A and B are shown apart, each in its own frame.
Chain A
Amino acid sequence: MAGEDPVPDIPTRIRTGLSAGLRTSWKMIVVSVPLYVGVTLLKGTPVLDLLGRAFAPWMGIFGLPGEAAFAFVAAFVLNLYAAIAVMVPLQMDSFQVTQCGLMMGIAHNLIVEGGVLSTTGTRGWVLTLCRVALAVAAGLLLRGLYFLWGLV
């Protein structure tokens, strides 16, 4: 099917690539910069702390200590590095770190990445909700698996 169209020469391809790359970057910058600024300003408010407190009682479902909620808020709103910084002092065991890695790996940086996802032409917020739901599902699955094998 594809590949039947004439092949442009290398300089043309480089020019196409540069201009397409710039256009694509611009498209993503326009969406992600305002979201990034918003999220960074949010960090200076008590909002994240309040969210962490609200989620703490549910962490036990996934076999995690309540304080892990603050790491999850950091992962969801900011990024994985922020989450790791919160996790390290919590002294979690191998299962708990794996659990966090699994769940946060699926759902992190949701605000900026949600914006980026919508620039691809698909519904970003639907996929973002999917990511949170999937993180919860994956967490329950992993806890179940470890439970079945008597590891936790």
Chain B
Amino acid sequence: MEALPAALVGAVKLSLKLILIIVPMVTIFEVLRYLPVFRRAGNLVEPAMRGVGLTRDAAVPLFTGIFLGIAYGAGIIIRVAQQKGLPARELFLMGLFLATCHSVVEDILIFVVIGGNGFVILGVRLLLAALLTGLMARLWKPA
């Protein structure tokens, strides 16, 4: 069990990282979310989001997840879900979209570095996410 101390140190690091990223992110979101620019950006993405069964309430957590990844996206998702009372259907659809397509910058770049084709990876992931979430949204009708 000599691995246990290392695991615990890693666990403390992970916790600190979560706090250091999530607390500022949620605070910035809280300060900025009343700005009109947020609403305008919401108007812009709303038609695309409706296609996959999501409303504009899900826009901020969805885009956070797409760019920053599931772990940090979840911080915003938890916050918005309890604040706006996102329904289970929307949470699931958002989760499904993010399952296929998240952290697209970092996760794709590290494979580009070792010789992968980033456009192909991004294209297939976006396509699959949109198709699948759109399909699920049509199968699972809003209550």
Contacts and interface: CB of A to CB of B under 8 A. Distances in A.
A98 B111 contact: yes
Contacts of B124: 102, 138, 141-142, 145
Interface residues of A, number: 60
Interface stretch (A25-33, A51-59, A62-70): A25-33
A41 B39 contact: no
Contact of A17 (B19, B30, B132): B30
B74 A116 contact: yes
Contacts of B31: 10, 13-14, 17
Given A7-B34, A84-B110, A116-B74, A36 B115 contact: no
B68 interface: no
B141 interface: no
A2 interface: yes
Given A28-B18, A127-B95, A141 B39 contact: no
Contacts of B3: 40-41, 43-44
Nearest to B92: A122
Given A44-B3, A98-B111, A101-B121, A24 B8 contact: no
Contacts of B34: 3, 7, 13
B63 interface: no
Interface string A78-122: 001100100110001110011011101110100011001101111
12 contacts: A18-B26, A18-B27, A21-B22, A24-B22, A37-B10, A41-B4, A41-B7, A84-B111, A97-B115, A101-B121, A121-B88, A137-B128
Interface of A: 2-3, 7, 10, 13-14, 16-18, 20-22, 24-25, 27-29, 32-33, 36-37, 40-41, 43-44, 80-81, 84, 87-88, 92-94, 97-98, 100-102, 104-106, 108, 112-113, 116-117, 119-123, 127, 130-131, 134, 137-138, 141-142, 145
